[in-house]
Amino acid sequence: LAQDGALNAEAVVVGFESGRVAVFRVLLPDSLGRADTDGSGAAPEGVLLASQPVLTEDEPLLLDHYFCKSPVTSLMWHPVLGIISIYRDGTALMVDTNGVVTCSIACAAGRDVLVTAADLSLE
């Protein structure tokens, strides 16, 4: 997501009904290793075992916040503004890559609205 810092990784942004927004690191097959039988690092017939569940000691959580108690209806990523989340109560919230709220607008989108696009120009 970001050029540097904790969000400089393959990631997925997830919004929850509780109002929580979380960014999880995506565990890619190459970073997890490959199952091999001959020590070559390749799975039989060159197939990565990416469909197998991966258990890690720690949750691959990069960032999360819980600044609004309403369910999340839309999420957008902007390289400069950060994570923009829209909530069912109409609140629009911008959080930077450190998890700090940079902008909050109550009733910006109206109640029960799903935002699919926004003009995020800085001017």
Strands (E), the chain: 11-15, 21-25, 61-65, 72-78, 82-87, 92-95, 101-105
Q: What is the pLDDT of residue 23?
A: 92
Q: Strand order of the sheet with strand 72-78? A: 72-78, 82-87, 92-95, 101-105
Q: Where are the alpha helices (DSSP H) in 1-123?
A: 29-32
pLDDT single digits (tens) 47-104? 445 556 666 777 888 999 999 999 998 898 888 888 999 898 889 899 998 889 998 9
pLDDT single digits (tens) 17-60? 999 999 988 776 554 555 554 555 455 544 445 556 666 777 88
